[in-house]
Amino acid sequence: MPLKIALAQINPTVGDIDANVRKIIAFSCQAKHQLGADLVLFPELSVTGYPAEDLLLRQDFVIQARQATVGLASRVPHDLDVVVGFPELDEAGNLYNAAVVLRHGQVLVCYRKRALPNYGVFDEQRYFSPGGQTCIFDLQGVRIGLAICEDVWKPDTVADNKTDGAELLLVLNASPFHAGKIHQREAVVASQGRTLALALVYVNQVGGQDELVFDGASFAVNHHGEVVYRAEEFQEELGVVEYAGGQLQKSHCAPCYRAISSEYKALVLGIRDYVKKNGFQGVLLGLSGGVDSALVLALAADALGNERVTAVLMPSRYTLEMSIEDAISEANALGVKYCVIPIEPAVAAFSAMLEPVFAGADRDVTEENIQARCRGTVLMALSNKQGSLLLTTGNKSEMSVGYATLYGDMAGGLAPIKDVPKLLVYKLARYRNGVFPVIPERVLTRAPSAELAPDQRDEDTLPPYEQLDPILELYVEQDRSAAEIIAAGFKAEQVLKAVRLVDSSEYKRRQSPPGIKITSKAHGRDRRYPITSGYQGDKLGHALDADTKQSTAAE
Amino acid sequence: MPLKIALAQINPTVGDIDANVRKIIAFSCQAKHQLGADLVLFPELSVTGYPAEDLLLRQDFVIQARQATVGLASRVPHDLDVVVGFPELDEAGNLYNAAVVLRHGQVLVCYRKRALPNYGVFDEQRYFSPGGQTCIFDLQGVRIGLAICEDVWKPDTVADNKTDGAELLLVLNASPFHAGKIHQREAVVASQGRTLALALVYVNQVGGQDELVFDGASFAVNHHGEVVYRAEEFQEELGVVEYAGGQLQKSHCAPCYRAISSEYKALVLGIRDYVKKNGFQGVLLGLSGGVDSALVLALAADALGNERVTAVLMPSRYTLEMSIEDAISEANALGVKYCVIPIEPAVAAFSAMLEPVFAGADRDVTEENIQARCRGTVLMALSNKQGSLLLTTGNKSEMSVGYATLYGDMAGGLAPIKDVPKLLVYKLARYRNGVFPVIPERVLTRAPSAELAPDQRDEDTLPPYEQLDPILELYVEQDRSAAEIIAAGFKAEQVLKAVRLVDSSEYKRRQSPPGIKITSKAHGRDRRYPITSGYQGDKLGHALDADTKQSTAAE
């Protein structure tokens, strides 16, 4: 008889132990009764969801999670092995990132994660002590090992399982998405399988959690390192693989994922889960006629359905007629309701109120920011009155250089494209138009403008995005210095300007809403810079004067 | 001849390696030439400042820090041992939190920190590998060991130094302030000295760095665990102790610090350094006539001098005459210039603009928030135009329960009293009035009100602060559950309300400006909660309906 192993790619809610347990029971029953599985494998820390952050420091939380995990044993089919992850508190007060095998109404074995990631978005050493040994158990004569996420990236840890007799390794994961990550994961795991002649079954969490999106994309590789099963990405799924004759058998394989569609789906799921898990009925956003808000509108409508999205047009004297036309046609193309609230009365009121104190002062970015903040106030008023979530429409290029107004266009509860560089915004917009056209071509071809001053263009203030985006990728994502970036062939003036703007706008980013991480390094918990910093890079920066922190051109 | 050891309690700037090196040279010269010291001890990571956060992931940064450290050897007096901290990158690419002894123009020895804190505000395991051994060196026949901060809290690590022959232990520190921390530090170190019959010299960084303030408060204990030297707190200082006849001799001891004055000084230094190190000329703040803004005004004037502070009064129809009178007398008492900008025109403009979309809807917190956001917009306009830093005046009690308006009274670059609970706000105000009266008595006795609606009082919405503050201390600082807090004697209704408000306002805190940590657990990098969380505590919370995240009463 082949051994049937089910892969339960579930979408838990962080902290909602009851709901997660109900989901685990439902998937377990389905695995047994519909798929005839002998074992079902759930993601890392499936009982609590991942990452639970400082909830893990609360004793009541970890006690409740343990009780729920032990209690699960009697609530799932007894003739099914159920492998779930939970935080395990030992009697000495140490906490482990653990997994148990439940069998016949009891806990059969418990494994403690050995490799605890503490880089990037991960803080596992803040919470957990490392485990020190393998955990091999027997099911119908097959020797099975357990590993949790980071463990499988460590050749030694995987090899220990082979040494200790495992022929099959089950891996529980909560591995967040970023571009290229899915292929990287398959490559690493396949390499371990091939090198050690070991079969591996890899189940990943799916779903959005604040800044992170988990893509699922679970898979299995055989002793030769061949992918024999691949789940769909960005959705819950219960799959099954068979292990027979010492081999993992070829099963269903979803086609390889396309980078651009993975990124689009990541953003859609990130929005949908943030809205759903935080109990909002719908969202609203300011629609300017520019490409950023056009993309966010399409993402929101795709995530929630058009009836749960409201667009708000807030023209000023600097808004071109073309922008209003394009915004309206975007809303109409998606069937999204919109309203128009011109901001001139509020702008005029502030001008009059400030006139006595500003008397004689030249017009500068202050007046631009007032417009943006009038829009922010209108949007937040609608959000408060309707209980809708305000989506912020700024992209990663803007957030990196601080080309945005704090409390203005940065206002909102979620910033869906905060980790999407401007050039990728265009690509995603074209990808979406390829499915069904919703964004007018003109929006994709005209020069970007904040429309806060006459004839304004982003390029008046910033390097062209074709230059800026690769510079930012090297500086923000790859931690390269200005000197290295210049040596790579970029213009010194543009590099120094970009680097200076990134450094001096950390205070703005610190107050920005959470975004959805889709690159290898996102602003937020992924990239943790001090606001107060005297670092001038490799001294090249001295060529330009440092602005004070709150008067950067873009603010 | 006694051995003369100088304690250089310096205030470095994170990232400004050149300036920190110049300061180290100046203090070293003074130690040699004015104090006749044989050795001068600097704080942990003194070359880069602490904490440098993700700057430490930049190769250019750590290379520059190493070059500066090695270069120091030839720039300090050659007949003086100089002990400084720096991040040490080894050839395998591992980074250590290290300290070197510079002597005769060269690096004599290098020690690598063994205990790396990764809790609370600390993320050292994100950056550093641990060292594995002691580092003992000889100076004039005295065997001296080195330790770095967390090391000295580990009895085994300290004992290793004694075992390996040290009679004197030099400890480099960057230990941030919170209430009670100074006495805790002295007690732990004195206990190590007494237990092991070891003399210890403890030098701490001083100065503000974003959310943290380092108090200095350096000290030395002899073999009997007696404090024989104590520096002033919250200021740079160069002290000296003598080691003779196998004993650390009694030296200058500042009087024991008083809790309330330490807290006040911490806030003053936190403001001063944030303003100075970020290059602002001055600050402004909204002055309401309430106690919070009154305290922030006094702190700012004490930190910067009254001529660098501007107060802005922004009355509305709900502002009592008494509030305006009190605000003016506060500004006058401190000699701070003020302006008055009534917000009614902007409020009226927004009301008219929103009337068509709000038609028929009841008045609710939306209208209160609009007033707060009009004030935020006025203040930010002044900040932008003048290049001044806007100080936010919300306290910890409000921030904990979300009783504040995002982009309204929460707008600003620094929130000085964000970690000060309301009852402590009153205590600090009375303490300041005890030095010289600047806050009218009436401000300290009238019921707190946001003045955003007729006859509004905080107690209409929140439990009285006498109840709320201790509940919040148990929940936020001590991670106790609602059930435990109720069992401790607090009213269930108040506890459940407070807990629910804390949980549902995480999204607001995530967008709040940095505050200055003065309690054992501050909101910010110290307390890291998910925004999206389904955790309902110990189920008691189910008794109350959960609001959606953006329509909490206070917002």
pLDDT digits (tens, 9 = 90+) for B90-113: 999 999 999 999 999 999 999 999
Over 90: is that where the pLDDT of B552 sits?
A: no
List CB contacts of B67: < 8 A, sequence separation 6 or more. Answer: none
- Chain A closest-CA separation from residue B305 CA (Å): 20
Q: What's the CA gap between A242 and A6, in Å, rounded? A: 9
* Closest residue in chain B to residue A349, using alpha carbons only: B346
Question: Tokens for A429?
Answer: 């917009």
- Chain A closest-CA separation from residue B56 CA (Å): 9
* Closest residue in chain A to residue B553, using alpha carbons only: A384
Residues of B in contact with A411 (CB under 8 A): 406-407
Q: What is the pLDDT of residues A106-158, one digit of tens each?
A: 999 999 999 999 999 999 999 999 999 999 999 999 999 999 999 999 999 99
- Which residue intervals of chain B bear CATH 3.40.50.620? 263-543
Residues of A in contact with B385 (CB under 8 A): 358, 361, 364, 366
Nearest to B278 among A274, A339, A548 (CB): A548
What's the average model confidence in pLDDT over B446-469? 93
Contact B279 A529 (CB under 8 A): no
- Over A5-58, what HEC string results? EEEEECCCCCCCHHHHHHHHHHHHHHHHHCCCCCEEECCCCCCCCCCCHHHHHC
CB burial readout B215-249, b (16+ within 10 A) else e = bbbbbbbbbebebbbbbbbbeebbbbbbbeeeebe
Nearest to A535 among B15, B280, B479 (CB): B15
Cβ(A98)–Cβ(A112) below 8 Å: yes
Report the percentage of chain B scoring pLDDT > 70: 97
- Chain B closest-CA separation from residue A181 CA (Å): 21
Q: Does residue A315 have a cis bond before it (omega within 30 degrees)? A: no
Give the residue from A58, A61, A122, A353 with the most B CB atoms within 10 Å of its CB, the best one to mutate: A353
Phi/psi for B299 (5° steps) reads -60, -45
Question: Tokens for B353?
Answer: 């603009």
Question: Tokens for A25?
Answer: 């029971």
Q: What's the CA gap between B430 and A490, in Å, rounded? A: 58
Active-site positions of A read 44, 113, 149
Residues of B in contact with A338 (CB under 8 A): none
Residues of B in contact with A354 (CB under 8 A): 341, 378, 381-382
Contact A14 B533 (CB under 8 A): yes
What's the average model confidence in pLDDT over B64-76? 97
Q: What's the CA gap between B505 and B216, in Å, rounded? A: 34
* Closest residue in chain A to residue B64, using alpha carbons only: A538
What pLDDT is attached to residue A542? 41
What's the average model confidence in pLDDT over B453-478? 95
Cβ neighbours around A206 below 10 Å, total: 27
Contact B384 A555 (CB under 8 A): yes
What pLDDT is attached to residue A302? 98
Residues of B in contact with A406 (CB under 8 A): 380, 411
| CA-to-CA dists, residue B42 to A511, B94, B105, B400, B453, angstroms | 34, 23, 17, 37, 54
Q: What is the pLDDT of residues B132-151, one digit of tens each?
A: 999 999 999 999 999 999 99
Q: What element of type H or E holds B21? A: helix B17-33
Cβ(B248)–Cβ(B224) below 8 Å: no
Phi/psi for B280 (5° steps) reads -85, 150
Amino acid identity at B277: K
Q: What's the CA gap between A459 and A538, in Å, rounded? A: 26
List CB contacts of B166: < 8 A, sequence separation 6 or more. Answer: B134, B136, B143, B144, B145, B198
Active-site positions of B read 44, 113, 149
Q: Are strands B142-148 and A95-103 parallel, antiparallel or unpaired?
A: unpaired
What is the residue-averaged pLDDT of chain A? 95
Nearest to B53 among A14, A123, A528 (CB): A528
Residue with tokens 């939380």: A61
Q: What's the CA gap between A463 and A490, in Å, rounded? A: 11
What's the average model confidence in pLDDT over A218-231? 97
Query: How many A×B Cβ pairs under 8 Å?
Result: 292
Nearest to A370 among B19, B350, B377 (CB): B377
Residues of B in contact with A286 (CB under 8 A): none
Give the residue from B418, B474, B531 with the most A CB atoms within 10 Å of its CB, the best one to mutate: B531
Cβ(A415)–Cβ(A404) below 8 Å: no
- Over A223-241, what HEC string results? CCCCEEEECCECCCEEEEE
Contact B385 A361 (CB under 8 A): yes
Contact A530 B15 (CB under 8 A): yes
Contact B530 A19 (CB under 8 A): no
Question: Tokens for B179?
Answer: 């209430």
Over 60: is that where the pLDDT of B316 sits?
A: yes
Give the residue from B375, B407, B475, B484 with the most A CB atoms within 10 Å of its CB, the best one to mutate: B407
Residues of B in contact with A209 (CB under 8 A): 530, 532
Biggest CA pair distance of chain B: 88
Binning pLDDT at 50, 70 and 90, where does residue B540 land?
A: low
Cβ neighbours around A141 below 10 Å, total: 6
* A106 alpha-carbon distance from chain centroid: 36
What pLDDT is attached to residue B60? 95
Contact B387 A550 (CB under 8 A): yes
Helix-strand-coil split of chain A, %, nearest 5: 40, 20, 40
Query: What pTM does this model have?
Result: 0.96
Question: Tokens for B176?
Answer: 């941030």
| CA-to-CA dists, residue A18 to A99, A410, B542, angstroms | 18, 35, 12
- Chain B closest-CA separation from residue A433 CA (Å): 31
DSSP 8-state code for residue B253: B
For chain A, the residue count is: 555
Report the percentage of chain A scoring pLDDT > 90: 95
Cβ(B463)–Cβ(B449) below 8 Å: no
| Calculated CA dihedral for residues B345, B348, B350, B354, nearest 10 degrees | -160
What pLDDT is attached to residue B360? 85
Q: What is the pLDDT of residues B12-35, one digit of tens each?
A: 999 999 999 999 999 999 999 999
Q: Provide the strand spans (E) within A60-187.
A: 81-89, 95-103, 106-112, 136-139, 142-148, 168-173
List CB contacts of A474: < 8 A, sequence separation 6 or more. Answer: A480, A484, A485, A488
Cβ(B8)–Cβ(B109) below 8 Å: no
- Chain A closest-CA separation from residue B513 CA (Å): 6
Q: What's the CA gap between B499 and B481, in Å, rounded? A: 9
Amino acid identity at A344: E
> For residue B47, which of B96, B91, B99 has the smallest C-alpha distance?
B99
Of residues B293 and A555, more confidence is placed in: B293
Nearest to B532 among A14, A126, A483 (CB): A14
- Over B373-393, what HEC string results? HHHHHHHHHHHHHHCCEEECC
For residue A209, the number of C-alpha atoms closer than 13 Å in the C-beta half-sphere is: 27
- Chain A closest-CA separation from residue B340 CA (Å): 10
What's the average model confidence in pLDDT over A170-199? 97
Q: What is the pLDDT of residues B174-231, one digit of tens each?
A: 999 999 999 999 999 999 999 999 999 999 999 999 999 999 999 999 999 999 999 9
Q: What's the CA gap between A535 and B262, in Å, rounded? A: 30
What pLDDT is attached to residue A433? 98
> For residue A403, which of A389, A414, A418 has the smallest C-alpha distance?
A418
Binning pLDDT at 50, 70 and 90, where does residue B539 land?
A: low
Cβ neighbours around B321 below 10 Å, total: 9
Contact B123 A528 (CB under 8 A): yes
Cβ neighbours around A363 below 10 Å, total: 10
> For residue A36, which of A245, A253, A248, A238 has the smallest C-alpha distance?
A238
Give the residue from B377, B477, B555 with the most A CB atoms within 10 Å of its CB, the best one to mutate: B377
> For residue B401, which of B553, B521, B286, B211 has the smallest C-alpha distance?
B553
Residue with tokens 């030839």: B74
Over 90: is that where the pLDDT of B240 sits?
A: yes
Report the percentage of chain A scoring pLDDT > 70: 97
Over 60: is that where the pLDDT of A47 sits?
A: yes
Burial class from Cβ neighbours inside 10 Å (0-12, 13-18, 19+) for residue A253 reads middle
- Over A247-291, what HEC string results? EECCCCECCCCCHHHHHHHHHHHHHHHHHHHCCCCCEEEECCCCH
Contact A384 B377 (CB under 8 A): no
What's the average model confidence in pLDDT over A208-220? 98
Residues of B in contact with A376 (CB under 8 A): 373, 407
List CB contacts of B370: < 8 A, sequence separation 6 or more. Answer: A377, A381, B347, B350, B351
CATH topology of domain A3-257: Nitrilase/N-carbamoyl-D-aminoacid amidohydrolase (3.60.110)
Amino acid identity at B299: L
Per CATH, the number for A263-543 is 3.40.50.620
List CB contacts of A523: < 8 A, sequence separation 6 or more. Answer: A396, A399, A400, A418, A419, A476, A509, A512, A515
What pLDDT is attached to residue A412? 98
- Chain B closest-CA separation from residue A227 CA (Å): 33
Q: What is the pLDDT of residues A524-555, one digit of tens each?
A: 999 999 999 999 887 654 433 333 334 333 34
DSSP 8-state code for residue B527: B
Over 60: is that where the pLDDT of A267 sits?
A: yes
Over 60: is that where the pLDDT of A59 sits?
A: yes
Over 70: is that where the pLDDT of A429 sits?
A: yes
Q: Does residue A51 have a cis bond before it (omega within 30 degrees)? A: yes
Cβ(B499)–Cβ(B475) below 8 Å: yes
Contact A370 B381 (CB under 8 A): yes
| CA-to-CA dists, residue B66 to A234, B62, B84, B170, angstroms | 45, 6, 11, 21
Amino acid identity at B125: Q
Amino acid identity at B53: E
List CB contacts of B124: < 8 A, sequence separation 6 or more. Answer: B97, B113, B116, B117, B118, B150
Q: Residue B420: left if φ>0, alpha if ψ -120 to 50, beta else—which one? A: beta
Nearest to A380 among B343, B373, B385 (CB): B373
Q: What's the CA gap between A199 and A169, in Å, rounded? A: 6
Contact A380 B407 (CB under 8 A): yes
- Chain B closest-CA separation from residue A79 CA (Å): 31
- Which residue intervals of chain A bear CATH 3.60.110.10? 3-257
Q: Provide the strand spans (E) within B30-94.
A: 39-41, 81-89
